[in-house]
């Protein structure tokens, strides 16, 4: 299939390589030309703009960092919309506000271009190993057209609902994961303050009713005092902005998510944006010194 | 071994039966005599008081609901302390404040009686199947003496630290588990408000970075709208009182746990004390109508 791929960062590059490896014709664009180099060396064609990518592609995948970037790539000057033919599909796989996904989809629809929002969980390892969990929103028949592509990139693909619903599911995912990290941090702080060995507490809990991937991974980083990312906390901070923005738009009361957002704000204020989100433990420690 | 067992409720009865089944001589006491009947029928001896249980036992296990009950059974009129010989060990397996465990242990120590706090996670099923996770506090050499008994009752046993440390670990366990339930409830509310199918969101998330036993069990109760316990929410409410009380004693700031406690208060105020803790979703729904 003739594919476009825009956003060749830590996640996007290995994803694009998987698509190239299974034989698709790949057209790529990167703001910094050198970001596209490994893919061009592997057989992809470099384009001068998103519009040029769109003109050559049946399906374009975007994997850029935030909502404004997606709007720029899709609708801006030399954006996809200026090169796309009717029937093209944009699959946006980054994490952006559901509202932005809906707005971009509506603008593209006027030109006969379809859109799927398909954010992922699983991080860099999931991208490299093609084991991402993909949460998709959009029309079922459009999703069916791109399903083989997505199944090349992930191990699970769930169609959640209409456009934006994939982003809603991703916001839910981030809420649950970061809440688990914060809860682990509070538990580890309590254990420390009580004179109990946090690592023994973690081990005692990990196999029981409090067990989770977060206990296995993030809580272990806390007890090892190793706060290197992992997942850079600034990305979870960004995601909580999306989450609470959507909650405000919908009028959905999320009291605990709102409290966690403040803890992430405190983490950012401490200058730990590029540390792992397990540094939420250090935020609590700062407040108890 | 000559054992005592006090507290023959939903958890205690199957636990006592396991000990009887492996051949221990069991002396039991229950405030309501009929609670002891199934065990007496199976070969246990009914005693008229905790003191009488203590007089006949090398080790006494208690599994009663809260801190005041443990104090009454151990130190009250006709309590264990009045029948115990030096060298007896009390193993308290209920969930009580760490501070109460330390205070009871100190009083017993004056009579030469040792104490282990060994709260459990795993619930009724864990008690019946002898698959409890046991978190123990107390002296290592005392724990070694009762280890075979505890291993009869559980699948994991971790020595966390000195007396009270088991209760600290249990408080951590409850913090992490109920935080996961509340986070799942907020995620399910957001999905509902956004028009996405909560069960599809749950399924999409369960296998990924947000995956946990809570997502498998409690979030599934939410999307099935089946709020029957399970774990009665009043018990988690009680446990959060212990958790936040310990945090206050230690001066440990637990902002998210404190917020969750308020959600549990709201749940209690709605009259849902005996429903499952997944009813936290209904608390959010009540606030968004």
ipTM comes to: 0.94
Q: Report how far residue B234's alpha carbon sits from residue B52's, in angstroms, rounded to the nearest whole number.
A: 32
In CATH terms, B2-162 corresponds, of 3.10.270.10, 3.40.50.150, 3.50.50.60, 3.40.50.720, to: 3.40.50.720
- Walk along chain B (289 residues) and give the pLDDT tens digit of each residue: 999 999 999 999 999 999 999 999 999 999 888 999 999 999 999 999 999 999 999 999 999 989 999 999 999 999 999 999 999 999 999 999 999 999 999 999 999 999 999 999 998 999 999 999 999 999 999 999 999 999 999 999 999 999 999 999 999 999 999 999 999 999 999 999 999 999 999 999 987 889 898 999 999 999 999 999 988 999 999 999 999 999 999 999 999 999 999 999 999 999 999 999 999 999 999 998 7
**CB-based contact (8 Å) between A276 and chain B?**
no
**CB-based contact (8 Å) between A119 and chain B?**
no
A200 interaction partners in chain B (CB closer than 8 Å): 158-161, 169
CB contact under 8 Å between A196 and B251, yes or no, is: no
Task: Give me A111's structure tokens.
Answer: 């030109």
Chain centroid to Cα B268, Å, comes to: 19
Hey, how many other C-beta atoms are within 10 angstroms of the C-beta on B233? 26
**Counting Cβ atoms within 10 Å, is residue A179 exposed (0-12), middle (13-18) or buried (19+)?**
buried
Contact in structure between B182 and B260 (CB atoms under 8 Å)? yes
Task: Give me A164's structure tokens.
Answer: 């934006």
Instruction: State the catalytic residues of B.
Output: 170
Q: What is the pLDDT of residues A97-152, one digit of tens each?
A: 999 999 999 999 999 999 999 999 998 999 999 999 999 999 999 999 999 999 99
**CB-based contact (8 Å) between B289 and chain A?**
no
Please give the DSSP secondary-structure letter assigned to residue B277: G
CB contact under 8 Å between A210 and B256, yes or no, is: no
Q: Report how far residue B200's alpha carbon sits from residue B202's, in angstroms, rounded to the nearest whole number.
A: 5
Nearest to B280 by CA among B241, B239, B205, B227: B227
Nearest residue of B to residue A248, measured between CA atoms: B190
At A226 the three-state DSSP class reads: coil
A187 interaction partners in chain B (CB closer than 8 Å): 172-173, 175-176
**CB-based contact (8 Å) between B248 and chain A?**
no
The residues near A50 (Cβ < 8 Å, ≥ 6 apart) are A4, A6, A29, A60, A73, A74, A76, A78, A79, A80, A83
CA distance A191 to chain B (A): 7
A221 interaction partners in chain B (CB closer than 8 Å): none
CA distance B3 to chain A (A): 26
CB contact under 8 Å between B259 and A259, yes or no, is: yes
Q: What is the pLDDT of residues A183-206, one digit of tens each?
A: 999 999 999 999 999 999 999 998
Active-site residue, selected from the candidate residues A2, A139, A155, A170: A170
**CB-based contact (8 Å) between B207 and chain A?**
yes
**CB-based contact (8 Å) between A255 and chain B?**
yes
The answer regarding whether domain A168-288 maps to CATH 3.30.70.100 reads: no
CB contact under 8 Å between A200 and B160, yes or no, is: yes
Give phi and psi for B248, each to the nearest 5: -65, -40
In chain A, CATH 3.40.50.720 covers 2-162
Which of A177, A190, A266, A280 to mutate: most B Cβ within 10 Å?
A: A190
In chain B, CATH 1.10.1040.10 covers 168-288
Contact in structure between A190 and B254 (CB atoms under 8 Å)? yes
Please give the DSSP secondary-structure letter assigned to residue B78: T
DSSP string, B153-218: HEEEEEEEESTTHHHHHHHHHHHHHHHHHHHHHHHHHHHHHTT--HHHHHHHHHTTTT-BHHHHHH
CB contact under 8 Å between B205 and A256, yes or no, is: no
CB contact under 8 Å between B156 and A208, yes or no, is: yes
């Amino acid at each position: 299939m003739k594919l476009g791929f825009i956003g060749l960062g830590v996640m996007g590059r290995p994803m694009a390589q998987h698509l190239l490896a299974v034989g698709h014709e790949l057209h790529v664009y990167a703001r910094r030309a050198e970001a596209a180099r490994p893919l061009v060396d592997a057989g992809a064609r470099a384009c001068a703009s998103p519009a040029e990518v769109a003109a050559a592609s049946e399906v374009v995948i975007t994997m850029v960092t935030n909502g404004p970037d997606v709007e720029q790539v899709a609708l801006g000057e030399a954006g996809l919309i200026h090169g796309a033919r009717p029937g093209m599909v944009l699959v946006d796989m980054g994490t952006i506000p559901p509202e932005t996904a809906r707005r971009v989809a509506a603008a593209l629809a006027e030109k006969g271009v379809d859109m799927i929002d398909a954010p992922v969980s699983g991080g860099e390892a999931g991208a490299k190993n093609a084991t991402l969990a993909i949460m998709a929103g959009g029309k079922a028949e459009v999703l069916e057209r791109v399903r083989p592509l997505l199944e090349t990139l992930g191990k699970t693909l769930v169609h959640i609902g209409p456009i934006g619903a994939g982003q809603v599911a991703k916001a839910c995912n981030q809420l649950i994961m970061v809440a688990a990290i914060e809860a682990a941090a509070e538990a580890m702080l309590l254990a420390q303050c009580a004179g109990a060995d946090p690592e023994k507490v973690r081990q005692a809990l990990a196999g029981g009713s409090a067990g989770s991937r977060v206990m296995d991974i993030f809580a272990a980083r806390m007890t090892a005092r190793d706060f290197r990312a992992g997942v850079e906390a600034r990305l979870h901070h960004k995601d909580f902005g999306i989450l609470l923005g959507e909650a405000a738009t919908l009028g959905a009361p999320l009291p605990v998510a709102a409290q966690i957002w403040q803890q992430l704000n405190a983490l950012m204020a401490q200058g730990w944006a590029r540390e792992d989100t397990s540094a939420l433990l250090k935020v609590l420690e700062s407040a108890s010194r």
